[in-house]
Structure 1
Amino acid sequence: MNFQQFSGTVTSISDFQISTNDENRGCYQLFSVDSGYGNVVNFVIEPETYFIDHEMVAVGDRVTGFYDANAPVPLIYPPQYRAIVMTKEHPYQNVKVDFFNSQLISSDGSLMLNISSGTEIVLENGQSFNHNPINRNLIVTYGPTTRSIPAQTTPFKIIVIC
């Protein structure tokens, strides 16, 4: 996957119909997110969309949505992406969703992870991940970083995307 992100304020939340039958009614939503600079993105929220810390999102919240830039999208405006991960923005907490190589450096080369004994490493379902998280797609929550290139951090939590 080629993870990209878009941040902004949620301006509306509505049901998103994916079929004509009622079995999926209410299971899919559309979040409209405005960057504040004239850019708007609609995120399709599916039952599989991972919400950091399982937080509830409401209109007016600042969020960041992560999506696969290689996935097909309809040619409409505003752009509409399938959200893989959503997070509410919090001071002192950063989130990175990316592939991390054998040295735990993100695919864009901007972040290197230094795992400590206090770093929680789990699967998306919350269960422990008891292997090395190298060469995997990861959701990483972290605080301060060094000013080096790549920036280094000791993450609070790593969620392994299987």
Structure 2
Amino acid sequence: MKKFSSFSGTVTMIEDYVVSSEEELKGCVKLMSLLIEDGTIVRFVISPTTYFLDRVLISIGDRVTGFYDVNLPVILIYPPQYQALIIVKDSPYQNVKVDFFNSQLVSSDGQLQLNISRYNPILLQNDQPFTLYPANRNLLVVYGPTTFSIPAQTTPYKIIVIC
């Protein structure tokens, strides 16, 4: 099972990343560097399967959050380099959480509970509708205000099911 974690920061570099000598892969993989608030640098490997929320174009200077699977091995280099699964361009008008949500739609860290209705868009990563109940799955949740309860409750703007 995937366990997600993330880093947020300002994009300082995007460049081609050569992963093999195969001609058809050249230019298909990118390396994105983020400057984190504490002054450290983190790099994300962006592959053709990396999901960009709302298919936004990322440029140098943008604030983004990159999500990765903590269970995947990471090479021991500095700056650290992670395989990006999801990239989200930060916005003051929305919050994003990527996590496993149980049968009660509570995140695995117990910090967020989803209150959904039939009007909430629940989509696959290819923007097609997801027709089942989204419980017991990894979800990318885009939401706004929450309650002050524990867990905080919210009605999401959008749910992306990570299959």
Query: How high is the TM-score relative to the length of structure 1?
Result: 0.98
Give the Cα separation in 2 of the matches to 1:39 and 1:115. 38
Question: How far is the alpha carbon of 1:20 from its aligned partner?
Answer: 1.0
Q: SS of the counterpart of 1:18? A: coil
Partner of 2:152: 151
| 2:37 counterpart of 1:36 | yes
Q: SS of the counterpart of 2:54? A: helix
Q: Show CA shifts across 1:74-105 (max 9, x none).
A: 00011100000000001120110000000000
| 2:18 counterpart of 1:17 | yes
Give the Cα separation in 2 of the matches to 1:39 and 1:105. 32
| 2:47 counterpart of 1:46 | yes
Partner of 1:60: 61
Q: SS of the counterpart of 1:117? A: coil
Question: How far is the alpha carbon of 1:6 from its aligned partner?
Answer: 0.3
Q: Give the percent of matched residue pairs that are identical in Structure 1 and Structure 2.
A: 61
Give the Cα separation in 1 of the matches to 2:127 and 2:10. 27
Give the Cα separation in 1 of the matches to 2:152 and 2:41. 29
Backbone CA RMSD of aligned residues: 0.7
Greater mean alpha carbon deviation, residues 32-41 or residues 70-79: 32-41
Q: SS of the counterpart of 1:81? A: strand
Q: Show CA shifts across 1:48-85 (max 9, x none).
A: 10000000000000000000011001000111000000
Partner of 1:160: 161
Q: Work out the number of aligned pairs and report it.
A: 162
Q: SS of the counterpart of 2:78? A: coil
Question: How far is the alpha carbon of 1:39 from its aligned partner?
Answer: 1.9
Partner of 1:110: 111
Give the Cα separation in 2 of the matches to 1:97 and 1:35. 19
Q: How does 1:135-150 map to 2 (within 5 A)?
A: 135-150=136-151
Give the Cα separation in 1 of the matches to 2:68 and 2:109. 15
Structure 1 outlier segments of 4+, above 3 Å: none
Partner of 2:86: 85
**Structure 1, unaligned runs of 5 or more:** none
Give the Cα separation in 2 of the matches to 1:11 and 1:36. 13
